[in-house]
Structure 1
Amino acid sequence: MKSLTTKLKLLRPVLTSLCSYSSTDQTLLLNEFTRFCYQRDLPKALRVMDTLQSHGLWADSATYSELIKCCMSHRAVHEGNLVRRHLYFNGHQPMLFLANVLINMYVKFNLLTDAHNVFDEMPLRNVVSWTTMISAYSKSKQQQKALELLVSMLREGVRPNVYTYSSVLRSCEEMSDVRMLHCGIIKEGLESDVFVRSALIDVFAKLGEPEDALSVFDEMVTGDAIVWNSIIGGFAQNSKNDEALKLFKRMKRAGFTAEQATLTSVLRACTGLTLLELGMQAHVHIVKYDQDLILNNALVDMYCKCGSLDDARRVFNGMKERDVITWSTMISGLAQNGYSQEALELFESMKASGTKPNYITIVGVLFACSHAGLLEDGWYYFRSMKKLYGIDPVREHYGCMIDLLGKAGKLDDAVKLLNEMECEPDAVTWRTLLGACRVQGNMVLAEYAAKKVIELDPDDAGTYTVLSNIYANSQKWDSVEEIRTRMRDRGIKKEPGCSWIEVNKNIHAFIIGDESHPLIVEVKEKLKQLIDRMIGIGYVPETNFVLQDLEGEQMEDSLRHHSEKLALTFGLMTLPLGKVIRIRKNLRICGDCHVFFKLASKLENRSVVIRDPIRYHHFEDGKCSCGDYW
């Protein structure tokens, strides 16, 4: 009884107000409120809302929905809170639809606590309510919270829909969670949905399981480009470039048109395989997306990494819009291809354009300095990056400087900088010092650096090989044998030299010591003739690059069949005059092959481009773009 009396006292002011306010006035007030809401006049709408609240009146849900959308468009958080308080004033409970709109508003404002408070206050929640919250936590990388909500949703008997699963899947970071969700998807019969399949493929690829992604893709015939985009992108993302390109061909045969996302993945695959011809074919499809920034950036990257700088410059110069990725890609591409001065000039143009460099841009700038021996410039950019651009140096920046100092013969300064690093040197940093030591012939420091690499990366076959070669250079054959024994005991095998060349859209691989290529006999005979002609004009094989316990003719024979020499010879045999010979190599080019390629470019009047793991070498008329500084 007391409770009822209390409630009547609370309601008396409202009842009195309503009695003094005619139904006609109420209608006019509500109509005015509705008009201001739909006109998106936020200040006037809020003033009328205050009047409504003082008279205990509420408009319809659609009108409040417009008002909330107006708050969202103006990023008006305070005003959004006023609307929420009005809707819950004096025990009033908004409709389910409107509560969902409120949750969405707080999610858009990135106020997840407020969104969850509204969610918790709801007496009834539907699949939209749950999915909005699950999606919000997934996007904010709170995966565990998203999964907990999904479990609660199922316990309350609300069935997830395709949007629920596609939202939560994409932020999964544990394979066990993905497996669990996959089972739930199959149980709900949603595995055939385009968005769910696409999300499953994306997450399997992201977690490094492209084969599982392919299993999902192959479960049924797909009739949607979204799923094709996901599977092609997944394989390209995992550097399964051959498979990505095969899937692209399947997609084209199935009658699907390549979209921006697909073409970006195709370009990534062409870049990884250095397939210039196929990349140029993809460029034809991109013409209709002429000013798509992401695609143009991918094109610049592809042309740079395939060693076709003229094409890269053409795309870059034709772009109406450029971002920091565009500039950084072109600067790094020029530096890697041996055009360091042009890279630094482009950096100045970037600054003049008003584009602020990021840490990747500075890596490209320091790389340019390091590969051109620009010591003073390198020091200037390194020392000023924090002061001028607010960029703290990281391992990549230190690595470029250590490389620059080492090549300049400043090994003491390189070691000093390594010891001053703000982050702990990793195996890559020590490998950089190791490479500099080899160039300068400092075997003592090289041995120390190699041992540091092995401490950090005990299975690094390349460093064991370098250490073995250091001992071989010093004729320490017992130490060489000891290293080889350690490698055998750990099951570590030296990576054989391998070179690839594209001829008529087919990739031909040449591996040192391998006789499987169908034209290997003809290639070796042609190579012998070429070497004999070179010897006639003064070529002498530099046998110090054969770091094994061999003698005389054995050393020369080992050099004769380096994989890049075989690939070059095959290119001379099969590619027409005037066609640039492009070779990709898995190991760094040796000094003897560098001399050989310079002579071959002059003797055969051919342009040759070699891409090794470090940089590109453009050989023409007996010269190399690196200026013999690498």
Structure 2
Amino acid sequence: METNSSDVDASYKEEKDDSVTRDDRSELSDGSSSRIDVRALAMNLQPVKTVADVEEVLKDFGDLPLPVYSSVIRGFGKDKKLDSAFTLVEWLRVKRDSGGSLEGPNLYIYNSLLGVIKQSGQYELVDKVMKDMATDSIVPNVVTYNTLMAIYIEQGLAKKALDVLAEIQDKGLVPSAVSYSTALLAYRRLEDGEGALRLFVERREEYQKGELTKDPGEDWENEIVKLETFAVRICYQAKKWWAALEVYEDLLDKGPKPNNLSYELIVSHFNILLTAARKKGIWRWGVRLLNKMQDKGLKPGSREWNAVLVACSKASETSAAVQIFRRMVEEGEKPTIVSYGALLSALEKGKMYDEALRVWEHMCKVGIKPNLYAYTILVSVYIGQGQQEKVDEVIREMVSCGVEPTVVTFNAIISGCAKKSMGSAAFEWFHRMKVQNITPNEITYEMLIEALANDAKPRLAYEMYLRAYNEGLRLSAKAYDAVIQSARYYGASIDTTVLGPRPLELRKKTQTRKILSKFCELADVPRRDKPFDAKELYPS
């Protein structure tokens, strides 16, 4: 690209932020018919060590326009040639002081030099540049201060960067969009969501009053949306979920209209909270978050609905899971295999076996392909009904569909047998599992021992405990006690010394309050809230 000197001067005057760059391959006019290859000139000047070296390179060029030197210095920044940049600036000062026609370094030269310092990371030289500017009676502009803010942030001095923003305003200068976005970056480093929110709200109010339209070079309508997106992201990172939501709501009410990225960020905030509720099984909060989304005009997708469904299933809240699934369908969201899996699990836990089978049939009818988890729930349903022959059919179907049963599948079957005191059936499934080269784990043995002990098979329960012990597995105190108590009850003679010491009792994870407190801390909501109303499950 070629530009003449008037083009350079026009662009030179604008320089609205520290990120302004020009094509280093540009050829700039020196005021005559000749053209200057700035990139080549910068390459020739890179090795310079002294003012004399610069003079040697430039002796045949005459007095070039200052924008040429500014462009060269910015080029040095890309290659981190800070010494070359300082040497060139010093040469300009020498030429000025010698009484030649060439002006010394001006504001734009010094701003370019600060940019090189920022890129090279040698921040200790900032004070020298600022002193040189003062010596040359050059008053910093907004670009200067923007660069200083960015340098302070790079140094981990975010608070000092915010002080610079205040200094810009104190000196009567008008901060640019870059000033505010850099300040937001400082708030992000400080994890100060409230500070970021405050800065954005103030800028938005100024925009609405028409106070941010003084500079024709700034597209404030677009810049406000960018600041809003950044502020929302900072609130998200600082876990100020509701503050971010308030920003979004205000933009809907007062403008400018939030962009798609803001919408996606807000939805992602809810996803974080819903995922936390799902993992911790705090289903009531999941329902409330879902309702909150809809209240604010945000459309939950399958991911959000599934998070609440899984939370309900984890908490064995069958009725709640059914209601949420129904709402999901009525809202036009197509259930996925995860949706059906969570609903099936909730129905199985609630011993609503017939309903679970109807859901299964419907799922297959609408073309949802079952996965391992869904098949595992199905075998649990059939075991719960006492239909062992159906369990056989499911296992065969799984294999024919390329879904291989795992230890989890067999554990579900053996666990179901244990609940119904079907010791012989449990042992048969244990044997089949070994035949299929599926290695049993602690849960397998514990469920098997429970089934055998409850089905008047104390000797076999004892042998299974010994086998697990010899395989290096460490079973729970519950399994140990089941063996001892079954042997005593049925009068079986066993050698308890070979069982090893009784395992330590593991504390039950009944830390509901602690879990809820952690969630409330994450979600930035009060620990004590209004009692859950059943109407929240299905608001009209």
User: What band does the TM-score fall into relative to the shorter chain?
Assistant: 0.3 to 0.5
TM-score by length of 2: 0.46
Q: Which has the higher contact order (CA 8 A, sep 6+)?
A: 2
Which structure: larger Rg? Answer: 2
> Structure 1-normalised TM-score?
0.40
